[in-house]
């Protein structure tokens, strides 16, 4: 049996069992070993029968007698009496007819199970039993509990993994020895064995520390190496022109917040340094990222470079173009702007090429795909990436190939990424945080609404609409689904049109509509030709309609906290008092997530909470980082993360050769392609 052998190589695993293991994604011995428990049950305290109290108990006892019988049709009962020096105990099992014959009279076993009162008698019900030995898997220990599947129990998995324990003990170390020593880590083999069969709570904690450390170390190393690679590129110098910056600011209808000023200053520093900028501007919805990005663009344009802004949707691309046009106008630069959206005909594409090639338009705004395959940009100096987390190494290389050099990269995101996560995942990025909103913004008044208290909400909304405001309604689904009990945009649209909002102008917007229809509906809403816009989450990012003051979210319990917060950020941008109604599908008590949203408007605080409640998956989901699997490390474990990051830096500064560590190298290589936000 080797790590790469099929699971059937494991003693006791036949074809039947192998099939079931495959359902869990376990096909090889290595995968079986890597299949870590979800939780544990502590049956490690072996006690005298006399001391047994109701609850989980382990005893070490000799079988006095055991027999089985059918108590009625389809109900088999096995009864046994076992004893130690202090007394005897009755054990029962239901529907396990093979039990009695498996228990040898006179032999000594460990029994672990729940001791309880049943029909006026104390007994242990359905305990696990194992002959007394040095190595048990189901009894007299901290017992691992695995994710199970139909017909496959944790017991069977324990047995199979237990059969691999000698192989586990010979697994090679994956980290450098100096690091294992310096951090006082368990060896990899010891840690993996202890994850499955911990000898104590302390040993389990040490196993988790070792494996969690390794995970974060790998991630950190991956991003450090990416950063190094990036730093090896020479940049296009874009010198800071103070007069231009001042000129730009003087034409704004507001003054920059301190946070914006600082971000802009950091960007200008980056653009005039020797290496290409790779910066993320992270700011809650409405924090004013567009102005910051435009100020970066202006500097690049002045220097004669081309600039692109890539947005995730056409809608956003249009909106950005509108906003940026207005910002560039006073400087006489608006003619530089070219919007690339929709299905361009070949002729239109050629036209765009000409305009770009002639240098007439040097600032391209559009969707990612369109910009990437329409345009040749030899003088590309700055790439702005809005809300696109999939812009990784590959895309970066693509740009490089196109332009022949690495342009400066500026990412914008409204997803508040908790600091611990940002440091680990995006160590290669420099981050500017817009942590202060422009002055005068009022928090959005947020209310959880159950189905039976909806009427007053409709009244309140109608008053808002009558005062000239507009409302967004967001639904989790486009159309009705049999399998999911949640409101769809189509259904709500029909309902509102016929009933609650029949006197108002309603629009419907969802992802399955044609691009031009979507844009048309959105435009109507922006132009106030619609009072209510009913949509799916397509409006989620970036959409700016200052006159909208109400956000109504249907089946709010189906959305993640971070997502709800983003949706809420669509309103309250125009100085009007704004409302967010979180409609529940049923009258159950709202969960912690919705409650948190009601009481906090701090995106970072909410993101931290989301991380605690749902684990990193919540934020990965948002960032579409499915390939990352932090299974053990907790991103809230600041000490572990700091140590692992320092160690990754040390690995690099020691001049270690990654290729010396085959397994580590393979994993780091994989992570290098997915960890980058850009």
Between 282 and 608, whose beta carbon lies closer to ligand ADP?
282
Q: What's the rounded Cα separation, in Å, for the pair 644 and 616?
A: 18
Residue-wise burial string across 118-130, b where 16 or more C-beta atoms lie within 10 A, e elsewhere? eeeeebbeebbbb
Q: In sequence order, what are the beta bridge partners of 338?
A: 364
Between 32 and 434, whose beta carbon lies closer to Mg ion?
434
Binding of ligand ADP by 416 (CB under 6 A): no
544 binds, among ligand ADP, Mg ion, none (CB under 5 to 8 A by kind): ligand ADP
Start-to-end C-alpha separation, the chain? 42
| Window contacting ligand ADP (CB under 6 A); options: 170-178, 285-293, 586-594, 624-632 | 285-293
| Window contacting ligand ADP (CB under 6 A); options: 249-257, 331-339, 473-481, 577-585 | 249-257
Length of the chain: 678
Binding of ligand ADP by 289 (CB under 6 A): yes
Site for ligand ADP in 558-577 (CB under 6 A): 573
- Count, residues near ligand ADP per rule CB under 6 A: 17
Helix (H, G, I), strand (E, B) or coil at 153: coil
Minimal distance, residue 170 CB to ligand ADP, in Å: 54
Contacts to Mg ion by CB under 5 A: 542
**Lookup: tokens for 228:** 């190094």
388 binds, among Mg ion, ligand ADP, none (CB under 5 to 8 A by kind): none
Binding of ligand ADP by 256 (CB under 6 A): yes
Q: What's the rounded Cα separation, in Å, for the pair 126 and 556?
A: 42
Q: What is the DSSP string of 610-640?
A: HHHHH-HHHHHHHHT-TT----S--TT-HHH
Q: What count of other Cβ atoms lies within 10 Å of the Cβ of residue 18?
A: 18
| Window contacting ligand ADP (CB under 6 A); options: 54-62, 119-127, 278-286, 309-317 | 278-286
Minimal distance, residue 290 CB to ligand ADP, in Å: 3
HSE-up (13 A, CA, CB side) for residue 154: 17
Residue in 235, 290, 374, 563 binding ligand ADP, rule: CB under 6 A: 290
Between 156 and 547, whose beta carbon lies closer to ligand ADP?
547
| Window contacting ligand ADP (CB under 6 A); options: 176-184, 187-195, 288-296, 417-425 | 288-296
Give me the helix-helix angle, 662-674 and 393-403, nearest 10°. Answer: 70
Minimal distance, residue 583 CB to ligand ADP, in Å: 24
Helix (H, G, I), strand (E, B) or coil at 109: strand
573 binds, among Mg ion, ligand ADP, none (CB under 5 to 8 A by kind): ligand ADP
Q: What's the rounded Cα separation, in Å, for the pair 267 and 292?
A: 9
Binding of ligand ADP by 490 (CB under 6 A): no
Site for ligand ADP in 442-471 (CB under 6 A): none
312 binds, among Mg ion, ligand ADP, none (CB under 5 to 8 A by kind): none
Helix (H, G, I), strand (E, B) or coil at 212: helix
Binding of ligand ADP by 186 (CB under 6 A): no
Minimal distance, residue 26 CB to ligand ADP, in Å: 45
136 binds, among ligand ADP, Mg ion, none (CB under 5 to 8 A by kind): none
> Contact at 8 Å (CB) between 133 and 152?
no
Between 290 and 420, whose beta carbon lies closer to Mg ion?
290
* Location of structure tokens 């338009």: 361
| Window contacting ligand ADP (CB under 6 A); options: 87-95, 189-197, 255-263, 583-591 | 255-263
Torsion over CA of 404, 406, 407 and 412, rounded to 10 degrees?
130
* Location of structure tokens 């005039």: 272
Binding of ligand ADP by 257 (CB under 6 A): yes
471 binds, among Mg ion, ligand ADP, none (CB under 5 to 8 A by kind): none
475 binds, among ligand ADP, Mg ion, none (CB under 5 to 8 A by kind): none
Between 443 and 591, whose beta carbon lies closer to ligand ADP?
443
Which among 411, 422, 473 has a CA at the least distance from the CA of 607?
A: 422
Residue in 283, 366, 407, 616 binding ligand ADP, rule: CB under 6 A: 283
Contact mark string toward ligand ADP, 524..563, x via CB under 6 A: ------------------x-x-------------------
How far from 285 is each of 20, 39, 211, 416, 446, CA to CA, in Å?
46, 38, 36, 9, 16
HSE-up (13 A, CA, CB side) for residue 383: 30
Rg of the Cα atoms in the chain? 31
235 binds, among ligand ADP, Mg ion, none (CB under 5 to 8 A by kind): none
Binding of ligand ADP by 414 (CB under 6 A): yes
Q: What's the rounded Cα separation, in Å, for the pair 30 and 37?
A: 15
Binding of ligand ADP by 287 (CB under 6 A): yes
Helix (H, G, I), strand (E, B) or coil at 430: strand
Minimal distance, residue 176 CB to Mg ion, in Å: 44
* Location of structure tokens 């309902």: 495
* Location of structure tokens 């125009």: 574
Pure H helices in 90-200: 99-102, 154-163, 165-169, 177-182, 188-196
Between 288 and 366, whose beta carbon lies closer to ligand ADP?
288
288 binds, among ligand ADP, Mg ion, none (CB under 5 to 8 A by kind): ligand ADP
Site for ligand ADP in 422-441 (CB under 6 A): 438
Residue in 78, 163, 260, 566 binding ligand ADP, rule: CB under 6 A: 260
Minimal distance, residue 322 CB to Mg ion, in Å: 12
Give me the helix-helix angle, 154-163 and 188-196, nearest 10°. Answer: 150
How far from 186 is each of 162, 605, 631, 649, 660, CA to CA, in Å?
19, 34, 18, 21, 20
Q: Summarize as ranges the residues that interact with ligand ADP (CB under 6 A).
A: 254, 256-257, 260, 283, 285-291, 414, 438, 542, 544, 573
């Amino acid at each position: 049996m080797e790590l790469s052998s099929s699971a059937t190589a494991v003693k006791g695993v036949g074809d039947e069992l192998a099939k079931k293991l495959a359902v869990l994604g376990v096909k090889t011995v290595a995968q079986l070993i890597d299949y870590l428990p979800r939780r544990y049950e502590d049956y490690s305290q072996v006690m005298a029968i006399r001391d047994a109290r109701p609850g989980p108990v382990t005893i070490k006892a000799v079988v006095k007698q055991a027999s089985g019988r059918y108590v009625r049709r389809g109900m088999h009962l096995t009864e046994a009496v076992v004893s130690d020096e202090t007394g005897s105990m009755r054990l029962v099992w239901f529907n396990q007819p093979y039990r009695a014959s498996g228990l040898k009279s006179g032999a000594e076993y460990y029994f672990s199970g729940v001791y309880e009162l049943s029909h006026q008698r104390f007994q242990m019900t359905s305990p696990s039993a194992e002959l007394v030995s040095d190595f048990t898997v189901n009894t007299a220990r901290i017992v691992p509990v695995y994710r199970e599947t139909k017909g496959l129990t944790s017991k069977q998995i324990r047995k199979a993994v237990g059969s691999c324990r000698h192989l586990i003990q010979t697994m090679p170390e994956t980290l450098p020895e100096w690091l294992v020593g310096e951090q006082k880590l368990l060896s990899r083999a010891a840690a993996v064995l202890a994850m499955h069969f911990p000898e104590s709570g302390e040993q389990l904690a040490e196993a988790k520390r070792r494996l969690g450390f390794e995970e974060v170390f790998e991630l950190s190393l991956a991003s450090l190496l990416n950063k190094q690679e990036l730093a090896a590129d020479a940049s296009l110098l874009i010198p800071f022109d103070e007069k231009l910056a001042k000129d730009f600011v003087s034409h704004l209808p507001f003054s920059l917040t301190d946070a914006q000023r600082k971000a802009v200053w950091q960007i200008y520093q980056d653009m005039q340094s020797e290496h290409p900028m790779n910066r993320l501007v992270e700011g809650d919805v409405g924090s004013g990222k567009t102005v910051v990005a435009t100020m970066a663009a202006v500097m690049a344009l002045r220097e004669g470079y081309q600039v692109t802004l890539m947005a995730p949707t056409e809608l956003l691309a249009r909106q950005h173009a509108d906003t940026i046009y207005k910002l560039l106008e006073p400087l006489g630069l608006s003619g530089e702007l070219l919007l690339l959206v929709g299905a361009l005909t070949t002729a239109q594409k050629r036209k765009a090429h000409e305009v770009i090639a002639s240098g007439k338009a040097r600032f391209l705004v559009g969707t990612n795909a369109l910009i990437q395959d329409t345009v040749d940009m030899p003088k590309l100096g700055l790439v702005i990436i809005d809300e696109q987390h999939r812009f990784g190494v590959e895309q970066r290389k693509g740009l490089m190939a196109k332009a022949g050099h690495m342009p400066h990269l500026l990412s914008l995101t409204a997803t508040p990424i908790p600091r611990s996560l940002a440091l680990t995942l995006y160590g290669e990025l420099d981050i500017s945080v817009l942590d202060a909103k422009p002055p005068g913004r009022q928090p959005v008044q947020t209310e959880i609404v159950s189905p039976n208290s909806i009427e007053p909400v409709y009244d309140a909304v109608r008053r808002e609409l009558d005062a000239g405001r507009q409302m967004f309604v967001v639904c989790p689904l486009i159309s009705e689904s049999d399998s999911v009990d949640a409101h769809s945009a189509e259904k709500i649209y029909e309902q509102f049109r016929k009933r609650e909002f029949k006197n108002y102008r309603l629009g419907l917007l969802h992802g399955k509509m044609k691009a031009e229809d979507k844009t048309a509906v959105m435009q109507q809403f922006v132009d106030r030709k619609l009072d209510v816009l009913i949509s799916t989450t397509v409006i989620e990012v970036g959409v700016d309609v200052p006159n909208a003051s109400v956000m109504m979210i249907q089946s709010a319990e189906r959305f993640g906290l971070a997502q709800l917060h983003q949706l809420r950020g669509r309103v309250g941008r125009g100085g009007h008092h704004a409302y967010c109604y979180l409609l529940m599908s049923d009258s159950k008590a709202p969960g912690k997530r919705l409650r948190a949203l009601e009481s906090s408007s701090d995106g970072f605080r909410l993101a931290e909470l989301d991380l605690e409640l749902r684990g990193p998956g919540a934020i990965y989901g948002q960032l579409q980082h499915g390939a990352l699997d932090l299974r053990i490390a907790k991103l809230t474990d600041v000490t572990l993360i700091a140590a692992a990051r320092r160690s990754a830096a040390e690995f690099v500064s020691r001049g270690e050769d990654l290729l010396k560590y085959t397994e580590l190298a393979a994993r780091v290589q994989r992570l290098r392609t997915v960890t980058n936000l850009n």
